[in-house]
Amino acid sequence: MKQIVVIITAFLCFLIFGLCPISADTFNWDLSAEDLSLPGQDAGGAEVTINNNGDAAAIWGRSNGANTVIQVSRYSSSTKTWTAPEDLAVKPPGGIFLYIAINDTGNIVAVWTGSDGSNNILEASYYSSAASTWSTVENLSAAGQDSTHPRAAIDDAGNAIVVWSRFNSVNWIVQSSRYSTATGIWSGTDDLSDTGQDADYPHLAINDEGDAFAVWCRSDGVNGVVQASRYSSSVDIWYAPTNLSASGPLNPVGPYTNLPDVAMDNEGNAIVGWFQSDGTDEIIQVSHFAVATTTWSAAVDLSAPGQDAAPAVIAMNDAGEAVAAWKLLNGMNWIIQASSFSPDTGDWSDPADLSESGENAVYPGVGMDETGVVVVVWQRSDGFNGIIQESHSPDAGQIWSVPKDLSEAGQDAWFPKVAMSRHGDSAVVTWYRSDGLNTIIQAVILEIEGDFSDDDDRSRTDKGSGFCYINTVLN
């Protein structure tokens, strides 16, 4: 029998008027994390995606003792089961980066980089839900030079976009290719970043109609800038890149450097987040694209000065609400913070601390649905091992729950990834965790019970001078 555990957390509850406003939400985590990869060999690099029906897919790489096998598993919301791992490719170890995306009809695009014997090239496979089959693996990047850091997205019609960075023998260039359901083929390669300087770490967002944004970090010869390009599906073109950040120490070729992230709504508005030095510390900045004026806002600082913060992850819903999350050094430890964007006011909230201090919390991820429900995940030490934790908000980031452990204690768990259905009241989180011998890909599914479709349903009432928050979790 499920036991209802009620956790009551008071936030600034001064009770001047003898009233304590309440906000309640019911989150049902399947806390028995399911092993997606098989034991006996190490698996890692997992990415995950979910559609509005609650169907999900995950991709990872698993050693077979000599090479790395690219594997996928699909989750059915109707049967509440994951498929056995399916092998898509076998690649020599090293230089492997993966990504996966699903649409509402269950079509999936999976991409990865791996060696062709001479260089790391970008490969892709397309899953047709109608045929229940994966396509033959296709090379998307040209041979002869290395490619890395792919991202993929897919629209409602099944058209897909992939972006990556490729070395052209002089510099790293951000490139793109598009899959058309009308023709069943991938387009030729488009260069999105200008030649002459390095550009890397592209991220990608797409809406239901197939319009998209790509962002990356590019050197200007001395420092670097965060750039964005917009794709119009109606005219099938990428627009010239726009500089979003000021020139600064944004070396685009170092690991985990600046990592710009992007999210968009179905109207075509977008938000990009990144981190940049203010001369003393790394701070989180964002810029907002307004489709009505086709202009980007000036960069806005989200994290407080005086401490390092990095990197930014962004989620946005079709109401134009958004949440940014990042890690911040509070003088003792890295903690996870979040800020929310209101399209009504155009303002970002003050940062909220989501993780507890005392131990380092890193690798944030964020998902958001149409009603304003938000889930943020991260990895935090419990003093002995890395544990995957989450905090959620029923009201677009105004109120946050106390952190909850998703992975079991006793062994290290790393690198959580979260994907959230825009309409389907569900989310999926993956990570990889040691079983004492090897690292195993694990996943949990979230089902949100209750209707948070408007402010009254979210049960948030501002009375007196504070509020209380009741988080009801079914175990």
The beta-strand segments (E) located in 17-79 are 22-29, 34-35, 43-50, 56-63, 68-76
With a threshold of 0.75, does the pTM exceed it? yes
Per-residue confidence of the chain (475 residues) as pLDDT tens digits? 333 333 333 333 323 322 233 243 456 766 689 999 999 999 999 999 999 999 999 999 999 999 999 999 999 999 999 999 999 999 999 999 999 999 999 999 999 999 999 999 999 999 999 999 999 999 999 999 999 999 999 999 999 999 999 999 999 999 999 999 999 999 999 999 999 999 999 999 999 999 999 999 998 888 889 999 999 999 999 999 999 998 766 544 443 346 899 999 999 999 999 998 888 899 999 999 999 999 999 999 999 999 999 999 999 999 999 999 999 999 999 999 999 999 999 999 999 999 999 999 999 999 999 999 999 999 999 999 999 999 999 999 999 999 999 999 999 999 999 999 987 679 999 999 999 999 999 999 988 765 443 333 322 222 222 222 222 222 2
CB–CB of 38/85 below 8 Å? Answer: yes
Q: Closest by alpha carbon to 400, among 366, 354, 361, 369?
A: 354
The DSSP bridge pattern shows strands 467-474 and 22-29 to be parallel
* Residues 155/56/126/183 CA torsion (nearest 10 deg): -30
| Cα–Cα distance measured from residue 126 to residue 110, given in angstroms and rounded to the nearest whole number | 6
| Cα–Cα distance measured from residue 95 to residue 91, given in angstroms and rounded to the nearest whole number | 10
| Tokens of residue 420, six digits | 């959230």
DSSP type of residue 194: P
Q: Say which residues have a Cβ less than 8 Å from residue 144's Cβ, sequence separation at least 6.
A: 118, 119
